[in-house]
Each structure stands twice: as C-alpha cells, then as structure tokens.
Amino acid sequence: MTSATMNAPTLTPELKTQLTETARKLRIEVIKMLARAGSGHPGGSLGMADVFTALYFGGFVNHDARKPQWEDRDRVVLSNGHICPILYAALAQCGYFPMQWLADLRKIDSHLQGHPAMNKTPGVELSTGSLGHGVCGALGMALSLRAGGRNQRVFALLGDGELQEGLPWEAFMAAAHYKADNLCIIIDRNDAQIDGRTVDVMNIDPLDHKLRAFGFHVVSISGHSFEQIFAALNEAAATKGRPTAIIANTIMGKGVSYMEKDGYKWHGKTPNAEQAAIALKELGA
C-alpha cells in the first residue's frame, strides 16, 4: 500500500535521497518504454519525473494501489496525456499493475495506450489526449467531491503549450469563481511544444500574472528541486478559498544530455537503439 499521510509531508535528507533514486528509476523506465515502442513523447515525460515522484512517493497523494477505486483517494489527472509514460512508470512502481506491462506501451490492445485510458489502466482517473479537456474534468471532480462533503484533493497536470487553447482558461475562470480550493493545477513550464518554443509559437507569458488575474494562488518553482516542489504542494494544501496553480519550470528531457540540449525537438521523437543506450548509461541503468 502506498498512501499519503494527512499531515504536511516533510522532506528529510533520507527521503530526498529516496526520491532522487526513485526519479532516476522512473526516467530509466520511460526511456526503455519509448525505445521499445518506437513512438511516444520522451521530453515532457523526463521533465516531469521529479514532480510525479514527489506526488506519488513524497506523501502528497492519498491513494492505495491495491484499491484503485477507493472512495477516499485523491485524484491525479494528466491533462497533457501525451506524457503518460511517466505516469505509467509511477503507477507501476506504486504497484497498480505489474512492471511487465510497461513493455507493452502503445501496442494494440495493450493496457498502456499512447494516451491515458481510464478503462484500460488501473490508477488512471480520466482518459485524456485532446489537450485542454483534462483540466476541465479535474475541476468537475473537485466540485463534485466538495458537493458530496468529501475532503479529497484533485491534482491536474498540464503542459504549457496546452494553455494556448481556450478550454483551460474557461476551467480556470470557473475554478476561481467556485473557490475550488481542493484543486491544484501543476503546469509543466518547459517553454517547448512539438513545433517550437511556446514563446515563438504562441506566447503565454506573463503566465503567473494571468493566473493571478484569473483568481488563482500562484507559486513558481523549479520542477527539479524537491525542496521547492514540497514547499509548493504544502502551500497549495494550506491555501483556502481559491485554487492553486504551481508553475513548475522544467527542462525537457531532463537527465539525458542530448535531449536537454535540443529541447522541443524531443517533444514527440523517440530515441533509437543507440540513443537509448546513451540515455540509459547517463541515467545509470
């Protein structure tokens, strides 16, 4: 059983060491999965590994891998569903399904599709892929839980390129209007999307000011610092009367030197066998 405590999680030196090792292992699984599949999205998956590690292994998500439909669980919704390899790696590590399933990523009739499918994969709360839709579903979950008198929290993870669409902003407006303080959105701010930098394709800055204007409590952090991730998630849990937006500044392809260097080019490009071997060596596999 992997279950979060109701108290504010504390990052001890021992826990930080464990989380760093877990994030490394998750990145390794991402590379292996995508190299086998020959398609998928490595850049964002590697970039968000530390955030997913903190959520699932740092004590922030109240859940039980043995009971995926446990009524008292918190919800995690991956709105930018294309980075599902990191979600699958985390869920497998938690015990939601056998690690062997990771080898079948993107195969026909596999439990692990190229975008999250709630009817196929234990631990997936919402089928996502069409960008902008996931955060809307997450808001619906948050409002439904509150209407039912429940105190579970909902975490919605989004890509920054996704914010070039209108749907997320409609959801943000509604979340603030209804004071959905049980909703925490986490934005992967890597300034990269499939065809370039977000600042060039469709600039979304100043993102923090826009979110504050929409009524959010906003925290900007490094998405690779467990200290900052812990502080932001604890701050979100303590904020009442409005939703929280965590802007996680990340590096696309984090942990693999040639992916970090080429940025957006690795948004949806998978490594070949030689490139995968280099990546796995750099990650200490």
Structural domain contains residue 3? no
Structural domain contains residue 174? yes
Structural domain contains residue 6? no
Classify 210 as helix, strand or coil: helix
Structural domain contains residue 189? yes
Distance, CA of 38 to CA of 59 (rounded, Å)? 33
Structural domain contains residue 1? no
Confidence grade of residue 263 (pLDDT, cut at 50, 70, 90): confident
Instruction: Report the percentage of the chain scoring pLDDT > 70.
Output: 98
pLDDT at 2 exceeding the cut of 70: no
Which pair of tokens denotes residue 235?
């701050």
Alpha helices in 64-107 (DSSP H): 84-94
Structural domain contains residue 90? yes
Distance, CA of 155 to CA of 157 (rounded, Å)? 7
| Domain with 107 in it | 14-282
Structural domain contains residue 258? yes
Q: What pTM, to 2 d.p., does this model score?
A: 0.96
pLDDT at 124 exceeding the cut of 90: yes
Q: Identify the CATH number of the domain in which residue 63 sits.
A: 3.40.50.970
Structural domain contains residue 149? yes
Classify 222 as helix, strand or coil: strand
CB 187 within 8 A of CB 158: yes
Number of domains in the chain: 1
- Write down the pLDDT at residue 6: 54
